[in-house]
Each structure stands twice: as structure tokens, then as C-alpha cells.
Structure 1
Amino acid sequence: MATPLNPDRFGFLHIDLNSFFASVEQQLHPEYRGKPLAVVPTMADTTCCIAASYEAKAFKVKTGTQVGEAKKMCPGIILIEGNHTEYAKYSKAIAEAVELCCPVAHTPSIDEMVCQLMGREQEPPRARKIALEIKQSIYKNVGVALRCSIGMAPNRYLAKIASDMQKPDGLIGLLPSQLPRAIAHLELRDLPGVGARTEVRLNARGITTMEQLLALDRNGMHKLWDSVWGDRLYHWLRGADTGDDGAPVASEVQKSLGHSHVMAPEFRNEEGAWAIANKLLHKAAMRLRMEKFYTGSMSVTIRYQLTKEQAERIKSKRHFSGIKQSGWGMEARFQQCQDTLTLLGALRGMWARRPQGEEFRRPFFVGITLRDLIPEDEHQEDLFGDPDNRTQLSATMDKLNLKYGHTTLHFAGMLPARESAPTRIAFTQIPVQYGVDYM
């Protein structure tokens, strides 16, 4: 075990932007401030809210609430289709505002930032002063509608916990001398990494409260998790620095990249789904080249909406939006490539083999994933070169799309969906700016 920090010092600040997407919309549209608002992926009652303002949260509307239900829970709620390019721009601007006060050491997601404190910055009064300066810098340099909660703690894991303890606009510090009693009142689900499935597993082993978890010794925690994660968690919850400070374990070389999209109602047919698939592949292929990879396989996933009668007749699942669905997927392997034309050929071959029948007439979700990624410097060129100049064609397309926008030059198959399937943000993945667009 590494030596703990001095009991009266903080090692990290965790900055959590409150209701980030909704707050950006209220910043962009002053007329929405103080009003219940939800950001949605598309204007359909069957989809789900991806963010809610605090005014909407007062009506119990939250991330994951079905739009139709949100309208019932909060009559008059303002619904806005997400503008993820703006969210990426604001995230970057906020990081720059934070940097004016303290360097950003980690960016776990689009709406989170971590600062590591050094030397005398770790003294509680100084750490608190830095945290208040960060709040003021965001307010002054980015926008008055943007608020954040900041957690101060001796390690990253506890700082993340502290940032969730007071919202909105909170500031909480957890000192080693206060631990673990300062977190004994929390729920098990308040711990990062403990989701619904993990909670069920802990309950099955007799752990139903935080007090019971904290009562375990190190060996007990190890047995509970059946891994070194239990040892780490034992130390983190007591304020120790084990060397990785609660950071997620770094993955090895990236293995896949892709895009998926819940389609707007007007695209929920065979022609619309094909156009959306083309758009998603176009974006994924461009990212593949920008990130300097080749790919050796691709998978396509389609989810189909079922009628009530169909759902009763065949095995079905319920999508998070509430839609009863069936699904189909396929993977194709091919010679390593990175050009769009070759990948479109692979997609076309798989698409021709998609299932047919009445229950497959209403696609509402399409996903494209490029797998088995190989870094450019490890790729072996084909003995016979590139006779069709497909790589050069893709490079020319990239040059124009980077300058004028990624839908400027594209293959005809995606034309009906040219403005559809915009960049979506997974909270754990931050879009990267390529040319004038975020992808």
C-alpha cells in the first residue's frame, strides 16, 4: 500500500458539469432559462430524454425518461433536438476556462474534468480557493447558465464521489481524517463502478448498505469482488493513494470504432435505414483514416420495431426507449483497408442478407462498427498496390470534407440522409474535431 496523503490535504478536484446538454441549450437560448427543458435525440415520443434541466428534474424527468412520459410528467416541457457539435465546443471552452485556474489532468467524459493538485495547492483553503475560481471562470468566460459541482479529495475516486454529493453548483471536500465515516450515509449505487447488476451481486453476498461494505477488511473486500479491484476500493474509500487514484484501467490498442443512430420517424423504412447506414459508414471510414487505422472486419446491427401482435408471437426485447424490438446483426471479414468504397462494398453485401418479412419492415436503429483495427505503421501494403486508386479517392474526399464539412463530398447512397444522423455524444467518449466538424 502506498503512503496516504497528509490527512489534511486534497490531491484532486473533480469537476462535474451540471445537466450539461440542457445547460448549454439554456445558455444558447436565454428564453429557456428557468424553464423545464429536455434534450432529445430526435422528435419522437418513443425516444428517450438524453438530458434534463434542473427545472425538469423537479418533475422527476431525467436521463432515460421516455419522451411521451416526460410530456405527461411535465406538461409544457420544452423539447430540443440535441446539437452535439455545440456541446463539444462548449466542453472545449469550459476546459480552457478551467485551465486558467488549474491544469486539467484528465477528461473522463464530455461533462467531467479532473485537476491534480500539487504542493501547497493541496492545502484545504487553497484547494477551495482554486475550486471557487474555477466556478467563476466558467461563469465569466463561458456562460452564466453553466454550473458545475466540484469534489475535492485525496484521490480521484473519492473526488468523483464528492462531486455527486451536492448538486447543482456544489462544492464538497472529503479529507482522509473524515473517512470513511463521511461517506457511510451513501447508497451502494453512489459508488462509481457499482451499477444495477453489481448491486444485485453485492446484495446476494449479504452487502446491502454502505456501512456493511465499509465494515469489511481488505481481505473481505478482495473476496467480495474476487479481484484486486476490491483491494483498491478498500484503500480508495479510506483516502489512500494506491498509484492509479481511481482512474479506469487503460485499455490496450484501440480495437474498434463506429457509429449508431436511433432514426427519426421519417427514416424508419428500408430506404431510410440504408441511407442512414451509408451516412454512419461514411463518418466511421473518415474517422478511421483520421485516426490512422486500417480495419479487417465490419459489423452491422439493425433493430426493428414490432407491433403488439408481433411481439406476442415472436421472441422480443424492449429497447430503452420502450419500443418492443427484434434485432439482426452480421459481421464480415475482408482484407485490411481504410477506403470508403471498399467498406461500402462490404456493407452492401451484408445488407443484401438482412432478414425479410413483416416483422422486419420497421427498422428504427442502425449501427456500424469497424473492428480488428490495425495502426497504419503496422499495415502491410498489398503486393499489387491499389489499382483502382481507392485510397487516393478517399484522401481527396477527406481533404474537401475537412475544409468544408464532412458531408460535402460523399457517395450517392447517403444522399437522402445527408443531414440526418448527426454526431452523437456518448458521455464517455468526446468527439474530436476534424477540420470544421466534430466526429
Structure 2
Amino acid sequence: MDLADPFLNPRLSDLPDRFGFLHVDLNSFFASVEQELHPEYRDRPIAVVPTFADTTVAIAASYEAKALGIKTGTRVVDMKRLCPDIILVEGDHSNYAAFSHRIHDAVERVCPVAHVPSIDEVVCQLIGREQEPPRARQIALGIKQAIRDDVGQTLRCSIGMAPNRYLAKIASDMQKPDGLIGLLPSQLPRALVHLELRDLPGVGARTEQMLHGKGITTMAQLLDLNREEMHKLWNSVWGDRLYHWLRGHNTGDDGAPLPREMQKSLGHSHVLGPEHRNLQGSWAIAHKLLHKAAMRLRMEKMCTASLTLTIRYQLTREQAEQKNKVRHHQSGIKHDGWGMEARFPTCQDTLTLLEILQKLWQQQPTGPEYQRPFFIGVTLGRLINEDEQQPTLFADPDNRNQLSRTLDKLNQKYGHTTLHFAGMLPARESAPTRIAFTQIPVQYGKDYI
């Protein structure tokens, strides 16, 4: 063991006071986009919702709404109680994706974009003299101004500056809205003592519960651990990494996304509107979700060898009381769930995948508690690049691949539901592209999917 290695013995490291990364986090992004598109919404409490129903929840809230206690996850019925004049806006993912791309262009005009963690986040890596704190601050202010000038006056962002990506993400959350916070190595780790454990990216409710169970309830207690103790606490290399990240080291593996060629799955899910919470309506939604996923699969030039269908069923009060374990959706709906995966030779055409989906659909449980589906998910897995697909001894049955490619060309030109199989007709206008916090939808022809 080389004790002179700063990653093995951080006390011997002498990190310069420089910033390696800027993390740009758009504030109340979806609500701000709506206020930019609709000037009459500005300076008023608004909430973006997936659909107009009292049982659904806010997926975004303006700062005027947040001041009244309305936030992401607040149910519509509670929002109306807190603010009878709340403006509800049904989210339009195509608008948010378009604004996201415009923001990337604005940031790129000031500093090259290195990573895009989600639809409302951008990461820039600083090099050379850009890492000097005064220069990094100028770049951050330039990014803010570029977004205002190029995208809109309602679009505000908080920017975190730090020696690594993990800390830059933390810093971007420390001052909202319109914040600018820098964490220098000389300030670490004491600058983090005031945070809650849940403020750390990757620490959710379950992880926090695990930490509490091991006697770690405050950030100060976590930061007091040495590297060996951190490894033991997490029982994985994650503990070692987190130990270094919180002290300003750039280990080269601080949260970078998987390369595109490593993508393992793609799919779509949807909470059904009341009119589709029956077997016929839910099948139409499942059909449409598959239609979208199969089109994406071909546009990404990939093939799939597995299809997973997930269904959640709404329970009555009496049915819930008879269950030993009942799940609760964020909307408050008590439900039971079912799912099944099918594996098959690699393919990418919609008709073959639809036949597989039909077989899975016929396997779902029966009984009174499985009559009111309210959530459908369709996931294509075991993905490979289409040029890696093994050739078969038999010709393409019914020219299915050619049929799918022809459908794609027309749907890209006129809209992705222009041509489709008849089974999705009842849901043709339902299950639109929804808000994706961790993935920016790609524009395929006319539409974002």
C-alpha cells in the first residue's frame, strides 16, 4: 500500500482551491416554462399536473405556489385546499424537451456541456484557468445571463461549483432560486456539516433508514468516519467513493452516466385516466406504450430480447383490508401489483412485440381485485445494437421489419400516432409523452418520444 497516495491517505493531499465542475439546475423548470409560454401565469401560483384529476399530484410547482406549501407530490385536492385559486396546467413534455435543448445551446455558448443528468440539469467541466474561482464565477454568471437572453426571463437556475461532480450537484441545491454556491477543497468537509443526510445525492428514504439503523443520524457523524469505516457502513466501494467525494477529490467515477452503448432497457409507463381504468381501456394504453417503445427502439437502431409488462390494480377499501400488505401510490391509491417478463429471439418490429405483449396480457391474474388497473408499464430489455443481431435461416415473416420502417417514416413526418394498429385506437390521444426527470426525450421527426 502506497501511503503517499492521496486517495489512500487524504491527509497527505494538497488540493488546490479550484473548481472542476459547474452543475446547472433549473429552478421549478416545468412551471417556469409554462410561465414563459403564458405571461398571464407569471407571478401567480401554478402547478403542473400529469392529468386533470383530484387524485393526481403535482409534478412541478411555481415558486409562488411553493410559498403556500405546494410542492412536487402534493395532491390536487390538497392544493385546492391550500390555494383555491391555484392554476393547474397539464404538462406538455414536448415543450419542456424543446426548452431543455434551448438551454443546452445557451450554456454551450458560454462553456462546453460535459454531461446532461436530466431534463433540467446540465454539467460543465472546467479546465485550465477556468478552474480559478474568479473565472469560474464569471462563467456561472455568464450562463445565467445566456439562459435569460436566449431562452426566457422566467427561466432561473441555481449553479453549484465544486472540485467534483458530486459536490457540484450538492452545491446547486444549497441556494434556491437563482443561487450560486461554490465549495472549495479548503472548506471541506466542514462546509457540509449543516446539511441533512437526505441532501446527499443517492440517499433516499430507505438509505436514510439504513444509516439511522447503524447509528448515523447527522451529517457530522457521517463526516467523522474514516475511509475504512465508510466502506463498512455502506458495505461496498460506494462508501470509499463517497468518502473521497465529500472531501473534494475527483475520483473520475463521480456519477457519470452509462455510455449510450451500455443502455440496458427502454420503455414507457402511464397512470391511467378514470375512463381507461378497465381491462379494455388499459389494453389500449398498453398497446400505445408498446407502439412508442418499439418506435424508439428502431430509431435508436437497437433490438430487444425481452418484454416486461407491469400492471397495478386499484383496490377498494374492503379489498385493501383483506390484504396483508398493501402498496400506496403517491396519489393515495391503494393497490396491488403484477408483472411478468417474456424472453424471445432478438427483434425490433412492432407486430412481433405486440404478439408477445398479447400473450403476457392473457397471463395477468383474475379476480375482483384485478378489475381496475390504474397503472401500466411496458419495458423492452436485453438490448443490443441492431448490427449485432444474429441472422436467421428464415425470411422476415410478412415483411414485418419493412412494415415497421414504413410506419416509422410516416409517423415521423406526420406525428407518431398517425398510423398504428387498431388495438390502440381507444387510447390514440391518451398516454402522451410525460415528464422524465432523468431522461430527455429525443425528437423523432415531428414529435418527442
Report TM bin, short chain. over 0.9
Which one of the candidate residues 247, 265, 269 is aligned to 1:256?
A: 265
- The corresponding residue for 2:177 is 168
Paired letter, 2:245: W
Distance change in 2, residues 1:5/1:438 (3 Å): farther
Q: Is the 8 A contact 1:218 1:230 kept in 2?
A: yes
Following superposition, the deviation at residue 325 of structure 1 comes to 0.9
The 5-angstrom pairing of residues 277-296 of structure 1 reads 277-296=286-305
Residue 235 (structure 2) pairs with residue 265 (structure 1): no
TM-score norm. by structure 1 comes to 0.96
Residue 16 (structure 2) pairs with residue 33 (structure 1): no
Q: Is the 8 A contact 1:278 1:413 kept in 2?
A: yes
Equivalenced residues, count? 439
Which one of the candidate residues 378, 401, 412 is aligned to 1:402?
A: 412
Q: Is the 8 A contact 1:425 1:431 kept in 2?
A: no
Q: Is the 8 A contact 1:19 1:52 kept in 2?
A: yes
- The corresponding residue for 2:368 is 358
Q: In 2, distance between residues paired with 1:336 and 1:122? A: 47
Paired letter, 1:400: L
Following superposition, the deviation at residue 246 of structure 1 comes to 4.4
SS at match of 1:258: strand
Moved more, 153-162 or 353-362: 353-362
Q: Is the 8 A contact 2:156 2:178 kept in 1?
A: yes
Q: In 1, distance between residues paired with 2:322 and 2:184? A: 58
Paired letter, 1:166: Q
Which one of the candidate residues 383, 386, 393 is aligned to 1:373?
A: 383
Q: In 2, distance between residues paired with 1:168 and 1:398? A: 42
Q: In 2, distance between residues paired with 1:244 and 1:335? A: 35
Residue 206 (structure 2) pairs with residue 193 (structure 1): no
TM-score norm. by structure 2 comes to 0.94
SS at match of 2:137: helix
- The corresponding residue for 1:14 is 23
Distance change in 2, residues 1:247/1:330 (3 Å): closer
Following superposition, the deviation at residue 363 of structure 1 comes to 1.4
Which one of the candidate residues 293, 300, 325 is aligned to 2:335?
A: 325
Distance change in 2, residues 1:334/1:228 (3 Å): closer
Paired letter, 1:93: R
Q: In 2, distance between residues paired with 1:228 and 1:248? A: 17
Which one of the candidate residues 33, 36, 61 is aligned to 1:52?
A: 61
- The corresponding residue for 2:248 is 239
- The corresponding residue for 1:183 is 192
Gaps of 5+ in 2: 1-5
Q: Is the 8 A contact 2:91 2:435 kept in 1?
A: no
Following superposition, the deviation at residue 372 of structure 1 comes to 1.9
- The corresponding residue for 1:419 is 429
Q: Is the 8 A contact 1:157 1:247 kept in 2?
A: no
- The corresponding residue for 1:343 is 353
Q: In 1, distance between residues paired with 2:268 and 2:433? A: 9
- The corresponding residue for 1:121 is 130
Q: In 1, distance between residues paired with 2:216 and 2:236? A: 17
Q: Write out per-residue CA displacement over residues 317-346 of structure 1, whole angstroms, 9 at most, x where no aligned residue.
A: 211211011222222223321111111111
Distance change in 2, residues 1:385/1:5 (3 Å): farther
Paired letter, 2:186: S
Q: In 2, distance between residues paired with 1:340 and 1:195? A: 37
Following superposition, the deviation at residue 5 of structure 1 comes to 7.7
Q: Is the 8 A contact 1:24 1:87 kept in 2?
A: yes
SS at match of 2:282: helix
Q: Is the 8 A contact 2:412 2:444 kept in 1?
A: yes
Q: Is the 8 A contact 1:48 1:65 kept in 2?
A: yes
- The corresponding residue for 2:212 is 203
Q: Is the 8 A contact 1:22 1:39 kept in 2?
A: yes
Paired letter, 1:226: N
Distance change in 2, residues 1:387/1:216 (3 Å): closer
Q: In 2, distance between residues paired with 1:137 and 1:52? A: 24
Moved more, 312-321 or 368-377: 312-321
- The corresponding residue for 2:148 is 139
Q: In 2, distance between residues paired with 1:386 and 1:112? A: 43
Gaps of 5+ in 1: none
Q: Write out per-residue CA displacement over residues 232-257 of structure 1, whole angstroms, 9 at most, x where no aligned residue.
A: 21121111222234435669732221
Pairwise CA RMSD of aligned residues? 1.7
Q: Is the 8 A contact 2:314 2:372 kept in 1?
A: yes
SS at match of 1:389: helix
Q: Is the 8 A contact 1:42 1:263 kept in 2?
A: no
The 5-angstrom pairing of residues 41-120 of structure 1 reads 41-120=50-129
Percent identity over the alignment is 73
